[in-house]
């Protein structure tokens, strides 16, 4: 199965699971009146919206370049990750509101056993799904799929916190455990939301990836030196699915254009293989006599 097909499959499963679990959690919140379960359900509402947006973004991101998008559409992955982060943060605000309302008007919890069963089921399903999404996202270097996985895992922590809160209520009969746990859940959800928005902004602004840059530079240092060449003006960015690399190769003045082109193509192919299957490499050929000159467009 190709990387793209694997991403589609796991995201489709995420969409179906989010819809089913949304219905389960809402029924649990209505049946119990628990602020903590309500907070879990509220997070699932925005998660369903976010995963729907992510599924659309995934299909757009794999569209090839066209007349109006010469570099493809995969940067929408960072937009999707940012949207997911914003939705998570919005869920946290809803949870804070509900917890504050219960502090003011009081807490009444019903059907505790049903609430515990529903929350346990949701936590188990989301744990398996979240780990799968994060694994596929890291493997395919997809910020979109990874962000969705992180969102699902925040749902797991939310459910675990709800179970702890309801368990403490069952043991101590102190109803205020419910809104207290809801606030703790909201703080964790807000933290993840801010993290995702920060990563999304970094991707949209072409923030360098230190790990990838180190690997590419190590290869260039070795292969370029073996050919008796040098390089400078190295740049790298990741657009959501594709790695874009460019650099200037410096050749002896007496070398023919054809020979320089062949050596440059060899170096480009090695870098592209390192970043396979989605590496795009561009090199600029320079004679050594012009190595230290700088064109206006290089700034």
Query: Domain residues of the chain, as ranges?
Result: 3-204, 210-298
**Over residues 238-242, mean pLDDT:** 81
**Predicted confidence band at 208 (pLDDT cuts at 50, 70, 90)?**
confident
Full-model pTM: 0.71
Whether residue 156 has pLDDT greater than 90: no
**Predicted confidence band at 263 (pLDDT cuts at 50, 70, 90)?**
very high
Report pLDDT for 187: 87
Residues 6 or more apart in contact with residue 52 via CB below 8 angstroms:
15
**Over residues 60-72, mean pLDDT:** 84
Report pLDDT for 274: 92
Whether residue 299 has pLDDT greater than 60: no
Residues in a beta bridge with 283: 247
Whether residue 174 has pLDDT greater than 70: yes
Q: CA-CA distance, 265 to 240, in Å (whole number)?
A: 25
Residues 6 or more apart in contact with residue 41 via CB below 8 angstroms:
22, 25, 26, 28, 29
Q: Which of 91, 92, 100 is nearest to 35 (CA)?
A: 100
Q: Which of 143, 174, 155, 142 is nearest to 18 (CA)?
A: 155
Handedness of CA 112, 114, 120, 122 (dihedral sign): negative
- 3-204 sits in which CATH class? mainly alpha
Torsion of CA 209, 210, 215, 218, to 10 degrees: 130
**Over residues 117-138, mean pLDDT:** 87
Domain 210-298 superfamily per CATH: Cation efflux protein, cytoplasmic domain (3.30.70.1350)
């Amino acid at each position: 199965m190709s990387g793209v097909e694997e991403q589609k499959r796991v995201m489709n499963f995420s969409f179906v699971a989010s819809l089913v679990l949304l219905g389960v959690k809402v029924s649990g919140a209505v049946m119990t009146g628990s602020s903590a379960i309500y907070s879990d359900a509220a997070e699932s509402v925005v998660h369903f919206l976010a995963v729907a947006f992510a599924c659309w973004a995934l299909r757009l991101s794999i569209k090839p370049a066209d007349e109006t998008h010469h570099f493809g559409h995969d940067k929408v992955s960072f937009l999707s990750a940012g949207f997911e982060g914003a939705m998570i943060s919005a869920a946290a605000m809803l949870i804070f509101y509900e917890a504050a309302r219960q502090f003011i008007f009081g807490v009444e919890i019903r059907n505790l056993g049903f609430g515990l069963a529903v929350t346990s089921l949701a936590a188990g399903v989301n744990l398996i799904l979240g780990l799968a999404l994060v694994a596929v996202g890291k493997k395919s270097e997809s910020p979109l799929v990874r962000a969705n996985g992180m969102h699902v895992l925040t749902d797991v922590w939310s459910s675990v916190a709800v179970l702890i809160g309801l368990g403490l209520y069952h043991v101590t009969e102190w109803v205020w455990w419910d809104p207290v746990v809801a606030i703790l859940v909201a703080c964790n959800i807000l933290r993840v939301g801010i993290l995702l928005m920060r990563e999304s902004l970094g991707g949209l602004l072409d923030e360098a990836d230190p790990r990838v840059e180190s690997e590419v530079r190590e290869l260039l240092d070795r292969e370029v030196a073996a050919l008796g060449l040098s390089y400078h003006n190295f740049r790298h960015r990741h657009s959501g699915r594709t790695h874009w690399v460019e650099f200037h190769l410096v050749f002896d003045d007496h070398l023919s254009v054809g020979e320089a082109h062949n050596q440059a193509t060899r170096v480009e192919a090695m870098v592209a293989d390192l970043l396979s299957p989605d590496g795009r490499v561009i090199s600029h050929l320079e004679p050594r006599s012009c190595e230290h000159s700088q064109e206006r467009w290089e700034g």
